[in-house]
Structure 1
Amino acid sequence: MTRPAIGGILFDKDGTLIDYQASWAPTNLGAGRLAARGDTELAARLLTIAGVDPATGYATSDGLLASGNTEDVAQAWAEAGAPFGVEDLTEQLDTLFRSAVVAAVPVCDLAALFAALTGRGLVLGIASSDSEAAVLATAERFGLEPHLAFQCGYDSGHGAKPGRGMVDGFCSVTGLPADAVAVVGDSSHDMHMAAAAGAGYRIAVLTGAGSAEVLRPLSHLLLPSIAGLEQVLFD
């Protein structure tokens, strides 16, 4: 396809800015233990339901823990026997996930990439299925705040992926039309969100749990990671 004129980029967080398996495998296992109150058998069952290998913590493509939001996970786990109410479990999981920011492994020098992209005149944002607090903490940790016009999570009031609301929110804040926005993500939820909103460019990356087989037909461009994004867009 002919690449459209892009004025802004809306990034997913985990699996896109952050190497998903390297960063989240231990946290996934911890989430299972938390939800099962230490019951090993129940934890294994809950993790399997959420698309996570209970031995390694690795997530499968588009499983609940890889692409869903915390409320989705809490609801599924409560229905499967986790000894919590959904609201309580959501709050405890969000706290756990936010604390995991300290162990997050970036896919590249994020601050340098974001500085380069804003230097090219692009407006940047982050839209995540994690909480807004976790998005803000991630941006602070990696020095991204000066380069961001928009940050949102599943609880920011824009709705959840794969709905279009996060892209609409980015467009509202930045004044960009959707067809001038590139959405970059690692899951089918990201690509479906972009398509639903009419985003001009859908860029998928392979640093998350999504596979090339799933992502290639849903995206305009498939990259190993965002490390080469500036070169792809401008060279």
Structure 2
Amino acid sequence: MSALPTIRGILFDKDGTLLDYQASWAPINLRAGRLAAQGDAALEEHLLVLAGVDPATGFSTSDGLLAAGNTREVAQAWHVAGSPFAIAELTLRLDALFQAGVANVVPVCDLGALFAGLSGRGLALGIASSDSEAAVAATAERFGIAGRLDFLCGYDSGHGAKPEPGMVEGFCRATGLPVDAVAVIGDSAHDMHMATAAGAGLRIAVLTGAGSAETLRPLSHLVLPSVADLEQALFA
């Protein structure tokens, strides 16, 4: 695009955007499949493949279910595919597993410095994730950015789920910003579709997740290697 709109707020996705998706989630994905299959090795492999995960490495394919979906969607798909757990119980167990995984996730850059710099420019900042709200809050606390956030939400926060527009609309309500003054930054087609549905002023895709440049470029205004390049792209 020839000229960037004036941006006053930034809404970040979490996994694959602030966190290196494959480095952070490959081992967690494998544990999730093992949990859901309850010792059935063949079922475990089937569930992981169904969710877009390589059962040998835990790596996700572009926009696979575990990379782009929320816990309830994963639990429902795995229950239908043969997991012995009821959907509600599996959702709770997976959310607990994912929240515990926060201790070992890998940031894509110095998140404290990134958020301090953006906050210092007067920008409202938020995180909108397909993970649970508790896991989002735990991640923000771990990396020292909770005090920089004007808004955070997960799939269970009452704003709906990606790719619906509700999370962006919730950010706008919390900050008082018009949606065309908001940039949405994410690593998946779900993030870009959410931004489009809400009418966000700027859609920025990053390549630190399970999405690819080929899938994300047609859906976004900008494609960046990572959020580490964000300030230069917006303000240089």
Shorter-chain TM range is: over 0.9
Q: Quote how far apart the aligned CAs of 1:109 are.
A: 0.1
Superposition map of 1:10-29 within 5 A: 10-29=11-30
Are positions 1:9 and 2:22 aligned together?
no
Q: What are the superposed Cα offsets for residues 21-74 of structure 1, whole Å, 9 maximum, x if unpaired?
A: 000000000000000002111000000000000010000111100000000000
Q: Quote how far apart the aligned CAs of 1:169 are.
A: 0.1
2:16 alignment partner, SS class? coil
Are positions 1:141 and 2:142 aligned together?
yes
Residue equivalent to 2:157: 156
| Percent of residue pairs bearing the same amino acid type | 73
2:58 alignment partner, SS class? coil
Residue equivalent to 1:206: 207
Task: Work out the CA distance in 2 between the residues paired with 1:216 and 1:104.
Answer: 26
Task: Work out the CA distance in 2 between the residues paired with 1:169 and 1:208.
Answer: 24
Q: What are the superposed Cα offsets for residues 134-171 of structure 1, whole Å, 9 maximum, x if unpaired?
A: 00000000000111000000000000000000000000
Q: What are the superposed Cα offsets for residues 79-138 of structure 1, whole Å, 9 maximum, x if unpaired?
A: 000000000000000000000000100000001000000101110000000000000000
User: Match of 2:129, as an amino acid?
Assistant: S
Quote the RMSD (CA, aligned, Å).
0.4
**TM-score using structure 2 length:** 0.99
Residue equivalent to 2:43: 42
User: Match of 2:35, as an amino acid?
Assistant: L
The unaligned stretches of length 5 or more in structure 2 are none
Are positions 1:56 and 2:47 aligned together?
no
User: Match of 1:138, as an amino acid?
Assistant: T
Residue equivalent to 2:68: 67
Q: Quote how far apart the aligned CAs of 1:8 are.
A: 0.2
Residue equivalent to 1:108: 109
Task: Work out the CA distance in 1 between the residues paired with 2:225 and 2:44.
Answer: 32
Q: Quote how far apart the aligned CAs of 1:228 are.
A: 1.2
User: Match of 1:101, as an amino acid?
Assistant: V
1:204 alignment partner, SS class? strand
Runs of at least 4 residues of structure 1 off by over 2 A? Answer: none
Task: Work out the CA distance in 2 between the residues paired with 1:69 and 1:146.
Answer: 25
1:17 alignment partner, SS class? coil
1:208 alignment partner, SS class? coil
Give the aligned length. 235
1:176 alignment partner, SS class? coil
Task: Work out the CA distance in 1 between the residues paired with 2:39 and 2:92.
Answer: 18
1:14 alignment partner, SS class? coil
**TM-score using structure 1 length:** 1.00
Task: Work out the CA distance in 1 between the residues paired with 2:172 and 2:123.
Answer: 13
Q: Quote how far apart the aligned CAs of 1:231 are.
A: 1.1
Residue equivalent to 1:99: 100
Task: Work out the CA distance in 2 between the residues paired with 1:47 and 1:84.
Answer: 16
2:150 alignment partner, SS class? strand
Q: Quote how far apart the aligned CAs of 1:222 are.
A: 0.1
The unaligned stretches of length 5 or more in structure 1 are none
Task: Work out the CA distance in 2 between the residues paired with 1:57 and 1:121.
Answer: 39
Residue equivalent to 1:234: 235
Task: Work out the CA distance in 2 between the residues paired with 1:118 and 1:140.
Answer: 16
Task: Work out the CA distance in 2 between the residues paired with 1:234 and 1:146.
Answer: 23
